[in-house]
Amino acid sequence: MHIIKKTRCISLKKRTYKSLQYLKYLEFSFHSKQGVIMSPVENIAEDLKFTSIETLKLGQSSKPLHTFPLFILNQALYTTNITKIFITDNAGKAGQFPESIGSPPPSLRILDLSNNGLTQFILDIRFITRLILKQNLLGEYLSTNNYLKKNYYFDVSMVEFIDMSHNDIKELDISTFDSQPLLHHIDLSNNNTQDITFDLSGLEALEFLNLSNNKIKFFDESIMQTINTLIEDKKLTIDLSKNVLQCTCKTIHFFRWMIESNVLFVDLQEYSCTLEDGSMIILKTFEYEVLQLEKSCKSYLGLIIGVSMALLTVILTVIASLVYRYRWKIRYMYYMTKGKYSYTKISPADDDEYMYDAFISYADDDRSFVLKDCIEKLEKQGNFRLCIHQRDVMPGQDITVNITNSIHTSKTTVCLITRKFLESYYCMFEFNMARMESIYSRNGRNILFLVFYEQLEPKELPLVMLELVQKESYIEYPNDEQGNVVFWEKIKENKENRKVHVSFCY
């Protein structure tokens, strides 16, 4: 076997190597200062057809790789048994791997294109098992492209080992490692990668992932879940050394996963991480440091939860207080909006705005007094237009909406106060809706008129009702013949002074 290795200066003539039919290893470089001309490459290519070449090393040229006539080498080598090609360390301006090179020889298994300043790489590597692209400029290209060129008759790659270190890779396209089921070793070290952006789920044979000397702070939940699925029945080694990890309460789950998963992390005791305060520590006793971080996070978590709960309680208390304080205003505005009347102010001097003179509010036990005495004395004799629930409200409408609409369309609301009235939910609802009507629709004018049909102690009355009593917006029903005449005349006088609004309780 003849081997020509690192020949310093040779004369390249046609058929120079024709007689070297047992040649298996050839390594040479081009140095223009030594007077070598690029054109004789064709001579080498022609001669290699007749050799037993297995390994070819071509490098250290003063010209960039994309200017080489690589397609000639490829065509010449296609029928040989070559298994390894190393084209490395070629100077010159950055360039892309020439697409016109075509397909590599079927026998080729190892292709090394290190340190060539490549910015793009497009090659049919269907039979290659070991691909080395380190020390190039492929970062931007690989962020949106796949290095694996596919065609209609080739869907699955035989690549087992790939080295893309030192390529200024910030992120990789999600499909970078698709259709490579045999890939077991990936080297992405010495880049600027911050996260795993490529799909790992299809890499069933993966055994080693080198992410050392990057900018990775932690793995997110989806990456950890993917890796857990990937290594259910096998081991995976990951190198995260020389990455400054992030030791915070947000990443504690990642560190716990590092301890409990089946992943073997290279040089784990030498990892470093940044704490919340910006200081950096070396995780010499990894599990202990993680345990301390967990304890710290638990104390912070308790404090955060306590403060949050206290703040929430204060906020809810304030909201509840405001809602309680303005509960009747809120309900009034709601029912006014829900009803057929909008929430608008009405001039109390405009009689045309009202359908009724009074809306009467009374307990059901006092119905006979309203239906007999009030209608007889006020409507028939006093020409009042009364709004009475059993007769005047709209059927089918919600009772609360009917009440609000009746109050809004009446000049005054008259409440027939008894103990049953005070116990009735709807009676008190009418009373409070009438109060809100006074404040928000009648420019503050009191439209409530209280008629005490029973003798009640002040302590039995709600505070808001006592305020009206103190303002003398009430009258007592006398329950005697002489007093009754005065009572009804007083009611009629209030109509002329627009002080009476009659309402009903149920």
Indicate whether 343 and 469 sit together in one domain: yes
| Token pair listed for 126 | 């269907």
Residue (of 219, 173, 178) closest to 202 by Cα position: 178
**443 phi and psi angles, rounded to 5 deg:** 55, 35
In this prediction, residue 67 carries a pLDDT of 62
CATH number of the CATH domain containing 425:
3.40.50.10140
Instruction: Specify the residue for token string 């404090």.
Output: 303
Domain boundary among 153, 180, 215: 215
In this prediction, residue 96 carries a pLDDT of 63
For β-strands 272-274 and 280-282, DSSP reports them as antiparallel
In this prediction, residue 192 carries a pLDDT of 94
Quote the pTM value: 0.59
Residue 43 belongs to a domain: yes
The single-letter code of the amino acid at 379 is: E
Residue 325 belongs to a domain: no
Indicate whether 352 and 474 sit together in one domain: yes
The span from the CA of 481 to the CA of 133, in Å, is 114
Domain boundary among 283, 300, 317: 300
**Which residue range(s) make up the domain with 238?**
216-300
Indicate whether 193 and 229 sit together in one domain: no
Indicate whether 379 and 288 sit together in one domain: no
Indicate whether 415 and 381 sit together in one domain: yes
The span from the CA of 65 to the CA of 309, in Å, is 66
In this prediction, residue 305 carries a pLDDT of 77
| Token pair listed for 134 | 């380190």
The span from the CA of 344 to the CA of 428, in Å, is 23
Indicate whether 29 and 155 sit together in one domain: yes
Indicate whether 159 and 259 sit together in one domain: no
The span from the CA of 491 to the CA of 376, in Å, is 13
The span from the CA of 290 to the CA of 283, in Å, is 9
In this prediction, residue 315 carries a pLDDT of 92
| Token pair listed for 374 | 């009030």
Indicate whether 111 and 225 sit together in one domain: no
Cβ(194)–Cβ(171) below 8 Å? yes
Query: Which residues on adjacent β-strands are paired with residue 59?
Result: 29, 88
CATH number of the CATH domain containing 162:
3.80.10.10
Map residue 41 onto helix, strand or coil.
helix
In this prediction, residue 117 carries a pLDDT of 85
For β-strands 55-59 and 118-120, DSSP reports them as unpaired
Residue 376 belongs to a domain: yes
| Token pair listed for 258 | 């590092």
Residue 247 belongs to a domain: yes
Report the 10 Å Cβ neighbour count for 345.
9
Cβ partners under 8 Å of residue 34, min gap 6:
8, 9
Strand order in the sheet with 386-387: 386-387, 356-361, 410-417, 448-452, 474-476
Cβ(47)–Cβ(19) below 8 Å? no
Indicate whether 183 and 222 sit together in one domain: no
Indicate whether 34 and 124 sit together in one domain: yes
| Token pair listed for 359 | 């809306």
In this prediction, residue 9 carries a pLDDT of 39
Residue 319 belongs to a domain: no
The single-letter code of the amino acid at 20 is: L
In this prediction, residue 160 carries a pLDDT of 95
In this prediction, residue 31 carries a pLDDT of 58
Domain boundary among 215, 245, 279: 215
98: left (phi over 0), alpha (psi -120 to 50) or beta: beta
Indicate whether 96 and 168 sit together in one domain: yes
In this prediction, residue 161 carries a pLDDT of 97
The size of the chain, in residues, is: 506
Indicate whether 28 and 163 sit together in one domain: yes
Residue 422 belongs to a domain: yes
Residue 316 belongs to a domain: no
DSSP 8-state secondary structure symbol assigned to residue 315: H
pLDDT along the chain (506 residues), means of 10: 40 50 79 48 71 84 63 74 88 59 84 89 84 93 84 72 96 91 95 93 93 95 93 89 92 92 91 89 88 79 75 90 82 74 56 80 87 80 82 77 87 89 91 87 80 85 82 65 63 52 39
Count structural domains, the chain.
3
Map residue 109 onto helix, strand or coil.
coil
